[in-house]
Amino acid sequence: VGAAALIGAGTGLGAGEVLSPRADTAADTGTPPRLRMSGAHAPDGGPGRLQTGITGTPPAFAHVLALDLAGSGGEGGSSAADTRERAAEVLRAWTAAADRLHEEGPAAALPGAPSAGLLPASLGVTAGLGASLLAAAGLQDARPEAMAELPSFSTDALREEWCGGDLLLQVGAEDPVVAAAAVQHLLGRAGGRVRVRWSVRGFRRTAAAAEDPGATPRNLMGQIDGTNNPAPESPLLQRTVQVGRGAGPEWMAGGSYLVVRRIRMLLDDWFGEDVGHRERVIGRDLPTGAPLGQQRAGAEVDLTARDAEGRPRIPEHAHIRLASPQNNLGARMLRRGYSFDEGWRGDGTRDAGLLFMAWQADPARGFAAVQRNLADAGDALNEYTRHEGSALFAVPPAARNGGYLGQDLLE
Ligand code: HEM
């Protein structure tokens, strides 16, 4: 089945269709992940469709790369027009490469690559742009308000080398070799025009290992993570994630904004605490993921509930209390992060945690509002985490037929 046939199949939803139903089906039923995702192009030539890799069940592996355009910014002193042209060349090349990968699969599209003999494995490529690129390309006037720099937070421990980036690439697949082969190919197609600023190889549990492939996975702290996300295919999900027409410059209508935070977990400290304490830090039961005092992970969180002694069931500093929409002016985002484990640093520090990724239509009213509250109101989880990297990317809608990602901005 070609990608065009797949995404066209019976949806008729146009800009409102924000999910890849095939991606959900494959992961939820545990069927072998042969599917191809919607490509970089919208199916009907119309604008306003999310790129692949934003909604739908995340594949088990994802490389997330922030790249800088060689020669942009202070480096080499190239002109804004050159930078803009170079960005267009890269995005044109990536759009074409992503289409081929999505349509033909990584084995057929990459002769001689390590993906030979492997199935498409839900390979999906997503590309975005950072504010530094717009500045270097002389496109400040086209910069949406939603792309304003993220504020600093009182708990930040950011390191310059893990922050920012002119361009984003997210390459997801159910197989790590497929993802690695696609990354190699995409970087090759960009020629010498980009260099990697930072990258993280993320993972979640594989469908093959899951007793219940439909269950929400756990992060490296052992918590079921992602329960209280907007429901798949719901109008709330679409409103949360997708930039509406008229909500900023036209080039982003139908796209989304991604906030990435490289959050190291202090796992030895965490696992040194007893289970009861760990549960109170989040406000949820560890085995089931249910809100404390309830039975099921899916049960609605009741922040007013009290135990027999009159104490709040969800403690005052619990993560889910301070992150809840009720305490953040209704702030919503789609959290779709990946675990990372880079082993140990030279000084013996464990370098593992959560590559937190949140998709939203407006980061100021989504991620930034919640993170400010988590930092300033004293989220109990802060003691066990360090935010060491941060970036914000505009992820424009899927390209029109014959066009390329970001074209409406760059031409
Ligand atoms: C909920 C873990 C960082 C926002 C949760 C839950 C867990 C969790 C286990 C409960 C289950 C769920 O609903 O998904 C973590 C860990 C983090 C982290 C381990 C860092 C390593 C963040 C950050 C933000 C955030 C940085 C945003 C600034 C939320 C939101 C919820 C949530 C909005 C849902 C709250 C609700 O019930 O309405 N998180 N989280 N989390 N988290 Fe986090």
CA of 189: how far to CAs of 40, 206, 255, 269, 360, in Å? Answer: 15, 29, 24, 43, 29
For ligand 1, atom 2: residue with the closest CA: 225
Ligand 1 atom nearest the C-alpha of 374 is 28
What is the whole-number distance in angstroms between the Cα of residue 230 and the centre of ligand 1?
Answer: 13
What is the C-alpha separation between 330 and 152, in angstroms, rounded? 21
Residue type, 81: A
Whether 225 is catalytic is yes
pLDDT at 104: 95
ipTM: 0.99
Query: Best substitution site from 284, 356, 367 to test ligand 1's pocket, by max atoms within 8 Å of Cβ?
Result: 356
Q: How many A from CA of 319 to the centre of ligand 1?
A: 7
Q: How far is the CA of 286 from the centre of ligand 1 (A)?
A: 14
Ligand 1 environment, Cβ below 6 A: 219, 221, 223, 225-228, 261, 263, 265, 282, 284, 301, 319-320, 323-325, 335, 353-354, 356, 367, 370-371, 374, 381, 385
Distance between Cα 229 and ligand 1 center (Å): 9
The pLDDT of residue 78 is 79
The residue nearest atom 36 of ligand 1, judged by CA position, is: 324
Model-level pTM? Answer: 0.91
* Per-residue pLDDT tens listing for the chain (411 residues): 233 322 222 222 233 333 332 233 333 333 333 333 445 555 444 448 999 999 999 999 999 999 999 976 545 567 999 999 999 999 999 999 999 999 999 999 999 999 999 999 999 999 999 999 999 999 999 999 999 999 999 999 999 999 999 999 999 999 999 999 999 999 999 999 999 999 999 999 999 999 999 999 999 999 999 999 999 999 999 999 999 999 999 999 999 999 999 999 999 999 999 999 999 999 999 999 999 999 999 999 999 999 999 999 999 999 999 999 999 999 999 999 999 999 999 999 999 999 999 999 999 999 999 999 999 999 999 999 999 999 999 999 999 999 999 999 999
Cα of 225 from ligand 1 centre, angstroms:
7
User: Which pLDDT belongs to residue 71?
Assistant: 76
Atom from ligand 1 closest to the CA of residue 228:
13
Q: Which residue's CA is the nearest one to ligand 1's atom 33?
A: 323
List residues bridging with 62 in a β-sheet: 172, 202
Which residue has its alpha carbon closest to ligand 1 atom 26?
Answer: 371
Q: Which listed residue (166, 225, 285, 408) is catalytic?
A: 225
Q: How far is the CA of 131 from the centre of ligand 1 (A)?
A: 26
Q: Considering only CA atoms, which residue is closest to atom 4 of ligand 1?
A: 323
Are 383 and 269 contacting, i.e. CB atoms less than 8 angstroms apart?
Answer: yes
